[in-house]
A and B are shown apart, each in its own frame.
Chain A
Amino acid sequence: MNPRPMKVDGRRLRSERTKQLIIEAYLALAQDLSPRVPTAAEIAARAGYSVRSIFERFPDILALQVAAVDYCFAQVSALAPPRGVESDRETRIEAYVQTRAQTCERWVRLWRSLVINQGDSPELKARIRLARDRVTERMELMFAPEFALMQPEERRQTLIVLEALTDVESWARMLEFFGLSVDEACAVWVQAIDRLLPETPGGAA
C-alpha cells in the first residue's frame, strides 16, 4: 500500500521557521551580552522581525529563554555523543574529558547567563537540573566498571564531586582565572577524575 503524501501546511512551516530564527537570534545575543538577557527590541532587530512577531510566538521573554535552552540541549546531545564507552580506563577518561571540555567551551557564556538569570523560574531551574543530571548520567555510563564496585553512598558522593569538578563554571575558571590552555585544563580533569575513581576491576575493558 502506498502511503498518501502528507500535506504540508506552508503557513505553519513558515511560523516554525520564524520561531527558530528568533531563538537563534536570542542565543547569538545572549552569547554576546552574557550574563545580561537581551531585550525584545534587541532580539527583534537581530532576527529581522518586529517585536510583535516575537510576542505572537512567545508569550514572554521567559518562554523564549526556555525554548532557547531546550534548543541548546538538543544541540549538545547531537554534538557530544558518548565515545569510547567500552574502552580501557585511560581512554574512557580521556574521551569523557575531551567531550565535556568541548561542550563547556561552546556553551559557557550561555550557561552563565542561564544560571545567573534563573531567578525564581521553575522552568529554568528544571532545565539547569536536567543539564546536571545528563552530565551525571554520562559519567555513570563512561565509568560504569568503576562505579559498579562502589557502595551506594560512596558512589553518590563521587558522582556529586565529579559533577562539580566538570561543571561549566569550573572549566571557565581553569581558563579565565588560572590561565590554563585547553590542553592543560583537560590534564587537570584527567588527573583528578583518575584519582577520584576507584581502581578498575580486573577484566573490565
Chain B
Amino acid sequence: MKVDGRRLRSERTKQLIVEAYLAIIRENPHTPVPTAAEIAERAGYSVRSIFERFPDLHTLRVAAADYALAHAAALAPARDVDGDRATRIRSHVETRAGTCERGISLWRSLLLNVDENNELKARIKVARERTIERMELMYRFELDRLEAAERRNTLIALEIITDIESWARLREVYGLSFAEGCAAWVAAIDRILPPTPEGAHLS
C-alpha cells in the first residue's frame, strides 16, 4: 500500500493537538476550557493549524474524548475475570481507580461542556456503559443470582460508588491515599454484592 506522507503528517499534527489539549486540561483541572491560542502554543503550531484540522473547539473536545476513551480502554484491560471473589474485587478496584486517577480532569471538562454538545453526551454515556459492562463481567457469578430489578439496582449503586467523581472525592475531599481509596471501594463492593455461589470461580 502506498503511504501518503502528507496525510500521515496531517494525522500526526491532529494527534499532537489533541495531546496538547489533554495536557493543558490535566495541568489545570479547575479551568478545563483551554483557548485555541493556549492549545496552539502548547502543541507548537499556529491557531490556524488547529482550525484547519478541527472546525471548532467542540470538535476538538470530541476528538480528545475519543482519544482518551481509547487510551483508557487500552490501559485498563479486564484482569482476573475468573479469579475468586476477593481477587476479582481487588483487580476491578485497582484498574478502575487507575482509570479515574488518570481521567478526572478530562471528565470534568466533558461535564462542563456537555450542555452545548450532544456528541459529548454520547461519549459520557459510552464511558458509563463501559464501567457497567466491566462490572457485569467481573461480578457475573454474583449478579447472575439476582432478580432483574435487584440486579439493576446493584449495578447502578456500584456504578455510582465507583464513579470518577466519587474517586476524586475520596482523594481530594477526604484526603485518602490511593491505597486507602481502593480499600474503601473494596469493602463497599464486597458488602453490596450478594454471596458468591460455591465453586463459581474457575481459577
Binding site for B on A (CB under 8 A): 35, 116, 119-120, 129, 132, 154, 157-158, 160-161, 163-165, 167, 169-170, 173-174, 177-178, 180, 187-189, 191-192, 195-196
Decide: B188 and A188 in contact? CB cutoff 8 A.
Answer: no
Decide: A170 and B160 in contact? CB cutoff 8 A.
Answer: yes
Decide: B173 and A191 in contact? CB cutoff 8 A.
Answer: no
Contact pattern, B 102-131, Cβ under 8 Å of A = 1, otherwise 0:
000000000110010000000001001000
Decide: B163 and A164 in contact? CB cutoff 8 A.
Answer: yes
Interface positions of B from 146 to 170, Cβ below 8 Å from A: 149-150, 153-154, 156-157, 160-161, 163, 165-166, 169-170
Interface residues contributed by chain B, number (CB under 8 Å)? 30
Name the one of A129, A160, A177, A191 contacting B184, with C-beta atoms under 8 angstroms: A160
Query: Which chain A residue has the least Cβ–Cβ distance from B157?
Result: A192
Interface positions of B from 161 to 194, Cβ below 8 Å from A: 161, 163, 165-166, 169-170, 173-174, 176, 183-185, 187-188, 191-192
Query: Which chain B residue has the least Cβ–Cβ distance from A174?
Result: B156
Query: Which chain B residue has the least Cβ–Cβ distance from A132?
Result: B173
Decide: A170 and B191 in contact? CB cutoff 8 A.
Answer: no
5 residue pairs, one from A and one from B, having the closest CB atoms: A192-B157, A164-B166, A157-B184, A161-B188, A170-B160
Binding site for A on B (CB under 8 A): 30-31, 111-112, 115, 125, 128, 149-150, 153-154, 156-157, 160-161, 163, 165-166, 169-170, 173-174, 176, 183-185, 187-188, 191-192
Interface of A is mostly: helix
Alpha-carbon distance A116/B109, docked complex (angstroms): 10
